[in-house]
Amino acid sequence: MNRFEGRRVLITGGGSGIGRATVHRILAEGGRVHTVDVSEAGLKETADQARSAGHGERLTTALLDIADEASVQAGVTAAVGLLGGLDVLVNAAGILRSAHTHQTGLDLWNKVITVNLTGTFLMIRESLPALLEGDEPVVVNFSSTSASFAHPYMSAYAASKGGIQSMTHALAAEYSKQGLRFVAVAPGSIESGMTTGAGPGLPEDTDWSLFAKLAPAIGQGFAGPETVAGVVAMLASQDGAFITGTEIRIDGGTHF
């Protein structure tokens, strides 16, 4: 399929995980992609993989901190210039931090909210002028199953993703008559840098019984990031043209 041939796509968080998988999926379908991340090493690895797959000529990368307004303003301007416009924005960048809520300092709370929620807002705000001039434009935001279902020790993360989900609905209504779609994906039980290793940073005294309802109903455990990338590609393509103002849950039936 070449659903993205001729389309100009900006993807945040392309240095790892689901963001990287989305970069490769859009490239494989013919898109021209500019991806940004805070990790220079991650971006280099993504670019190396794209070249190995024969897609390197359609990918550009740059460092960008979505939590920093000046970085976003300069980065989006540069991206639009490189791409020659903008048709698709995918806000995949984000962080996950966990702690007992009574031990959650304001610095941790603000960090999660600033990166996840404010960062998504800044990327959208700065991209809007170019998107409104784009071809069948669409924004795909990243919510999470934590926005609607209980994920213990993750109140800051859940709040940030709930905010993204609500903001997606509001933006879809605001820009509907201008032909700009806003949709969100809500991944759960997906392998990524946020869900493996030290990513979640769960407390040492974690009560694992609280996670009894957080297991996928299908498959053999967590799914790979390409599972989400495929849904993002559908939503951002003509196949998703009648979908806006909603979220798509991708969790293997973890939350029936």
According to the 3-state scheme, what is the secondary structure of 58-126? HEEEEECCCCCHHHHHHHHHHHHHHHCCCCEEEECCCCCCCCCHHHCCHHHHHHHHHHHHHHHHHHHHH
Cβ distance 94 to 194 under 8 Å? yes
Q: How many folded domains does the chain comprise?
A: 1
The string of pLDDT tens digits covering residues 122-155 is 999 999 999 999 999 999 999 999 999 989 999 9
CA distances to 35, 67, 83 from 70, rounded to whole Å, are 17, 9, 20
Looking at the domain assignment, is residue 103 inside a domain?
yes
Q: Per-residue pLDDT averaged across 63-78, rounded?
A: 98
Q: Give the pLDDT score at 97.
A: 95
Q: Give the pLDDT score at 129.
A: 98
Q: In this model, does residue 199 exceed pLDDT 60?
A: no
Cβ distance 2 to 26 under 8 Å? no
**What is the spatial distance between Cα 149 and Cα 144, in angstroms, rounded to a whole number?**
9
What percent of the chain is predicted at pLDDT more than 70? 96
Nearest to 161, CA basis, from 171, 151, 172, 176? 151
194 — pLDDT class (breaks 50, 70, 90):
low
Looking at the domain assignment, is residue 3 inside a domain?
no
Looking at the domain assignment, is residue 2 inside a domain?
no
Name the least confident of 127-136, 173-182, 188-197: 188-197
Q: Give the pLDDT score at 220.
A: 67
Looking at the domain assignment, is residue 92 inside a domain?
yes
Tell me, yes or no, if 153 is annotated catalytic: no
Catalytic choice (4, 142, 157, 222): 157
CATH number at residue 141: 3.40.50.720
Looking at the domain assignment, is residue 256 inside a domain?
no
Q: What is the pTM of this model?
A: 0.95
Q: In this model, does residue 198 exceed pLDDT 60?
A: no
Q: In this model, does residue 200 exceed pLDDT 70?
A: no
CA distances to 10, 40, 60 from 163, rounded to whole Å, are 22, 28, 30
What percent of the chain is predicted at pLDDT more than 90? 89
Looking at the domain assignment, is residue 169 inside a domain?
yes
Residues in CB range of 26: below 8 A, 6 or more apart: 4, 9, 11, 33, 88, 90, 233, 236
Structure tokens at 97: 């931090």
218 — pLDDT class (breaks 50, 70, 90):
confident
Q: Give the pLDDT score at 137.
A: 98
User: Could you tell me the residue range of the domain that residue 22 belongs to?
Assistant: 8-250
Q: In this model, does residue 196 exceed pLDDT 80?
A: no
Q: Which residue has the higher pLDDT, 150 or 89?
A: 89
Q: In this model, does residue 179 exceed pLDDT 90?
A: yes
